[in-house]
């Protein structure tokens, strides 16, 4: 029987309609892909962060979105979400190393209905970023936001 090596490179793309159910579909798909490739340790964090990006794509753009999952060198997972809105939200407009340390949200932000999703991505992902996409040959524009998660080393148990 053939098996899939968790270290083999792979990529999946999911087209998501502009629909309120898109974040749920993205979560379910991501979970199935990662479990199918033996990456259980990344499922919960990847699911949470991908859902934040897909939810923002639904809330702040008026068109479809694309979720891409890519397994990279060293076992890293890159999750990217493209949408039709070209505006890069903070903190994705600057590279991770250029940002000040995380600060507690303002008191009024704690009672707000939203606005903390990208802070979750910033604090939980190993790397993240975003860039606008100009019009291409196929008429696509918008932005691409992404994050990466690295596998966690196995804990060493004392004998």
In percent, the amount of the chain with pLDDT more than 70 equals 73
Q: Which range among 8-17, 33-42, 50-59, 84-93 shows the weakest confidence by mean pLDDT?
A: 84-93
User: Looking at the DSSP assignment, which residues form a beta bridge with residue 78?
Assistant: 70, 148
Q: How far is Cα 92 from Cα 121, in angstroms, rounded to an integer?
A: 10
State whether CATH 3.30.565.10 applies to domain 10-98+113-149. Answer: yes
In this predicted model, what pLDDT tens digit does every residue of 71-130 receive, in sequence order? Answer: 998 899 999 999 999 999 887 766 554 444 444 454 554 444 555 678 889 889 999 999
Q: Tell me: pLDDT of 70 over 50.
A: yes
Q: How far is Cα 157 from Cα 159, in angstroms, rounded to an integer?
A: 6
Residue 32 CA to chain centroid, in angstroms?
Answer: 16
Q: Tell me: pLDDT of 2 over 90.
A: no
Closest CA to 122 of 95, 144, 150, 86: 95
Greater confidence (96 vs 23) lies with 23
In this predicted model, what pLDDT tens digit does every residue of 130-154 receive, in sequence order? Answer: 988 877 656 668 999 999 999 987 6
- The per-residue pLDDT for 4 is 47
């Amino acid at each position: 029987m053939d098996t899939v090596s968790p270290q083999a490179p792979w990529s999946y793309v999911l087209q998501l309609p502009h629909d309120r159910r898109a974040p749920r579909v993205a979560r379910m798909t991501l979970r199935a892909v990662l479990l199918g490739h033996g990456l259980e340790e990344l499922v919960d964090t990847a699911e949470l962060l991908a859902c934040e990006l897909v939810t923002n794509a639904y809330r702040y753009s008026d068109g479809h979105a694309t979720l891409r999952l890519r397994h990279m060198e060293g076992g890293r997972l890159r999750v990217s979400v493209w949408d039709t809105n070209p505006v890069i939200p903070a903190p994705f407009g600057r590279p991770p190393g250029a940002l000040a340390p995380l600060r507690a949200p303002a008191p009024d932000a704690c009672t707000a209905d939203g606005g903390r999703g990208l802070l979750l991505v910033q604090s939980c992902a190993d790397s993240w970023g975003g860039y606008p996409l100009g019009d291409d040959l196929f008429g696509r524009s918008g932005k691409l936001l992404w994050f990466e998660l690295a596998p966690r080393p196995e804990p060493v148990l004392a004998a």
